[in-house]
């Protein structure tokens, strides 16, 4: 059976990672969460007082990029790879609202993007990979055999993200989460380097009213037809 590259792009909190994990597991593919890589660099910047609510020392971050090592290690129990920053598991730390509030600024930095895009392309050289993010189908894998673009209303995405953060025991308000979602949409869509956009040949999936099961089945059926067209 041939292996292909599957790129899943879209706005924040559209469930890209969830369906990408499901799809990779069902197909026996490798799953890569590119957004987690940007979150890990952001966490590094926060830990070293490079970025905060009021300031961002871009030049210092660039000068320290050689000290930022992002990797993935498979967790057999969870069934997917967890993110490590300089050898430390940061899977939970990178999912906080505070990281979310800073990650789009870090992702705007061209040298950060070049470093991570290079790593992502190396991960997908052998195909058989499902990767989700903002520029996978347009920049990382422009020749991917299958591309999806996930979308949903900002309100729907904020409700999902708010519920997720509450389950993580974070003290947040829905209003703050909605503001963060809308702010990230604007920054991601208007940045100069690799802005979030739908690839010309991507299949758009609006999952505002789709269950997780229906969403997965939709993408899986399409993937099967591309992998096995006859």
| 16 annotated as belonging to a binding site for a ligand | yes
Q: How many angstroms separate the CA atoms of 35 and 226, rounded?
A: 25
To the question of whether residue 194 is assigned a binding role by annotation, the answer is no
Taking CA atoms, 146 is separated from 97, 99, 138, 227, in Å, by 31, 30, 12, 9
Is 148 labelled as part of a ligand binding site? no
H, E, C per residue of 100-128: HHHHHHHHCCHHHHHHHHHHHHHHCCCCC
**128 is known to lie in a ligand binding site:** no
Asked whether residue 12 is marked as a ligand-binding residue, the answer is: yes
User: How many angstroms separate the CA atoms of 51 and 105, rounded?
Assistant: 9
CA distances from 31 to 17, 28, 72, 190 (A): 9, 9, 10, 27
Binding-site annotation, residues: 10-18
Annotated binding site for ATP: 10-18
């Amino acid at each position: 059976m041939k292996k292909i590259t599957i790129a899943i792009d879209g706005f924040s909190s559209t469930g890209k990672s969830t369906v990408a994990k499901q799809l990779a597991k069902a197909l026996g593919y490798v799953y890569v969460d590119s957004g987690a890589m940007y979150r890990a660099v952001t966490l590094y910047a926060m830990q070293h007082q490079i970025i905060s609510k009021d300031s961002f020392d871009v030049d210092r971050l660039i000068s320290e990029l050689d000290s930022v090592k992002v990797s993935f290690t498979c967790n057999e129990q969870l069934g997917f790879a967890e993110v490590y920053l300089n050898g430390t598991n940061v899977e939970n730390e990178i999912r906080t609202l505070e990281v979310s509030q800073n990650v789009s600024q870090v992702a705007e930095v061209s040298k950060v993007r070049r470093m991570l895009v290079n790593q992502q392309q190396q991960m997908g050289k052998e195909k058989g990979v499902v990767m989700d993010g903002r520029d996978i189908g347009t920049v990382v894998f422009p020749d991917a055999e299958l591309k999806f673009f996930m979308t949903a209303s900002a309100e729907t995405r904020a409700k999902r993200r708010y519920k997720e953060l509450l389950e993580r025991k974070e003290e947040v308000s829905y209003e703050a989460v909605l503001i963060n979602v809308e702010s990230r949409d604007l920054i991601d869509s208007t940045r100069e380097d690799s802005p979030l956009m739908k690839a010309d040949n991507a299949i758009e999936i609006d999952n505002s009213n789709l269950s997780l099961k229906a969403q997965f089945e939709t993408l899986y059926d399409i993937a099967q037809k591309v992998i096995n067209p006859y």
